[in-house]
Amino acid sequence: MITGLWLPIITPFKDGAVDFKSYERLIEHYLALGIDGLFPLGTTGESPTLDAAEIDELVERTVATVAGRVPVFVGVGGNATAKVEKELKRLERHACEGIVSVCPYYNRPSQDGLLAHFRAVAAATDRDVLIYNIPYRTAVNLANDSLLELAEVKNIVGVKDSSGSIAQSLELLARKPADFSVLTGEDALYFTMMANGAEGGILAASHIMTERFVEVGRRFAGNDVVGARAAWAPLVPLVPLLFAEANPMPIKYLLWRQGLISSPECRLPLTRISDGLARRLDAVVEKRLAA
């Protein structure tokens, strides 16, 4: 079972290049804080802007730095099935435990097309596959009926659920097989989804105040809903700020302000956060340092 708090880790850049020194430092930092899994090469990691050599080195360094302490699932997705299959074959030499694969974007396949796509992806690898459903970015929604059909495929082990519909998400939790993991990708709904039986979350916001996110999960694991609510309360005003402008720009700004990365740099078409948001985020850092 894929459970707990997973970090879709950012990719630090400095002067146009991947800052591997900061990247490895980040991995150690978050492992020490108690994350349960690591997800490099997601959109939070700006994966569309990375070339093949950078992708290979990031995966290699992630696996080497983690050294088996938590599972690593690498983002491998796209809207051309044959290209995803080729990328899986290219990356299979790396010793990661699984992949996260997003629904094909832009070309808006039918449910039949989505079923065929993910069956092909699963058949192209012997690793575990976590499907990523995020229709407000991909323009296509993987319906619960389709997802539950895919759950019957041996190595499709769960979903990062960012359906954008609380009704769809709650229905999925009610209908899913016991051995199929639902991890929310909706950062603001982490408490709600955990309270309704989700196995965990893959949360970009957990780059910040990570120990609070970890505590929410631990409290739920101990059936302490009151304690989970108390741990969650300080995160309620933070999470919307982290997505007030394009992800991961606000997160990178805060990591830079805290000295965890050398630069808040993103790659085009992402730029930098506005001065107004920077001031609001500075207040978060100052309040945290004063606590």
**Which residues are the active-site residues?**
132, 160
CB 65 within 8 A of CB 101: no
Q: Quick one: residue 128, left, alpha or beta (phi over 0 = left, psi -120 to 50 = alpha)?
A: beta
Label residue 107 exposed, middle or buried (CB < 10 Å: 0-12, 13-18, 19+).
Answer: exposed
Residue 135 CA, chain-centre distance (Å), reads 15
Strand partners, 10: none
CB 21 within 8 A of CB 27: no
Six-digit token string for 201: 């979350």
Find all residues with CB under 8 Å of 269, minimum gap 6, and list them: none
Could you count the other beta carbons within 10 Å of the beta carbon of residue 273?
22
Question: What distance in Å separates the CA atoms of residue 131 and residue 122, rounded to the nearest whole number?
Answer: 10
According to DSSP H, which parts of 97-248 are helical? Answer: 111-123, 135-138, 144-150, 166-175, 190-195, 210-221, 225-232, 238-242
Burial state string for 162-198 with b = 16 or more CB within 10 A and e = fewer than 16: bbbbeebbeebbeebeeebbbbbbbbebbbebbebeb
Place of tokens 């396949």: 109
Question: What distance in Å separates the CA atoms of residue 279 and residue 275, rounded to the nearest whole number?
Answer: 6
